[in-house]
Amino acid sequence: MRDETEWADVDAYFEETFVKEPPFIAAAYEASCVAKLPMIAVSPAQGKFLAFLVRLTGAKRVLELGTLGGYSALWMASALPEDGHLVTLDHNPVCSGVARANFAHAGLADRITLRYGEALDSLKALVGEKGPAFDLVFIDANKSDYPVYLDWCVRLSRPGGLIIADNVVRDGRVADGDDHDPGVLGLRAFHQKVGASDTLDATGLQLVGVKGYDGLSFIRIV
């Protein structure tokens, strides 16, 4: 049985061989460590994968729920074209401060808007503002609220848009119907909603690596 040490070793091997996290993104990670933010950002390989998705979909408008220190936002924003923009939402004042400093240090502050506040309030405000629809959404916030986030993110997305949800496996607990953790229940309700919709087309990938055993769901708005 392969274990977490080996998963982390392979991630380290990928990172040094070809992922090559840019220095401004490594600096954001370091600043997040120094500020003692929770070490729950996506891995470098996952961050680069998100950046690939931004490029491959040609996304110009990206929405992120859950900024933390801005690590994944920097990967995605760095893959946007000059006229692209990323909006990221966070309710934690410490995280928001660290993230804003990281965006400025990276020279990407003009390509990123951090909206500080409760995600649901910001999502409602975004709908009210009737801005251009989002091409790609990354949901990486409070897991128990994923089902309600889904509705708002669908409203804010263009047809053909892509919604990516982080942490949808949680060590396999998502498949355990007897697990009553609020986060796990939220993920199960989220997936149930996705599966019940005729206008959402979805798949999921289980992932192992330096972040343990978790996964991503991908939802395409038909």
From Mg ion, ligand DHB, none, interface partner of 11 (C-beta below 5 to 8 A by class):
none
Which CB, 41 or 123, lies closer to Mg ion? 41
- What does the buried/exposed string (b/e) look like for 126-145 if buried means 16 or more CB atoms within 10 Å of the residue's CB? beeeeeeebbbbbbbbbbbb
* 212-221/200-209 β-pairing: antiparallel
Q: Which of residues 44-103 bind ligand DHB (CB under 6 A)?
A: none
Which CB, 81 or 162, lies closer to Mg ion? 162
Residue in 140, 163, 174, 221 binding ligand DHB, rule: CB under 6 A:
140
Q: Is 167 in the site for ligand DHB (CB under 6 A)?
A: yes
Q: How far is the CB of 153 from ligand DHB (least distance, A)?
A: 16
Which CB, 11 or 140, lies closer to ligand DHB? 140
Q: Is 217 in the site for ligand DHB (CB under 6 A)?
A: no
Catalog residues that contact ligand DHB under the rule CB under 6 A. 40, 140, 166-167
